[in-house]
Amino acid sequence: MGRGSSGLHAAPPVPRSAVRQRFDRLMREVAKFGAVGGAGVLVNFLVFNLVRHATDLQVVRSSVIATAVATLTNYIGYRYFTYRDRDKSRRTKELGLFLLFSVVGLVIENGVLYAATYGFGWDSPLQSNVFKFLGIGIATLFRFWSYRTWVFRTLPPAEEAVTGAESFLEPSRQTAAEKPRVRQRVG
More confident position, 131 or 174: 131
- What is the average per-residue pLDDT within 39-48? 97
- Cβ-based neighbours of 127, under 8 Å, separated by 6 or more: 116
From residue 89, how far is each of 94, 133, 155 by CA, in Å?
A: 9, 35, 10
- Tell me what pLDDT residue 143 has: 93
Instruction: Please provide the distance, in angstroms rounded to a whole number, between the alpha carbons at the two ends of the chain.
Output: 58
pTM: 0.70
- Tell me what pLDDT residue 48 has: 98
- Tell me what pLDDT residue 155 has: 64
Q: State pLDDT tens for residues 86-145.
A: 888 888 898 999 999 999 999 999 999 999 999 999 999 999 999 999 999 999 999 999
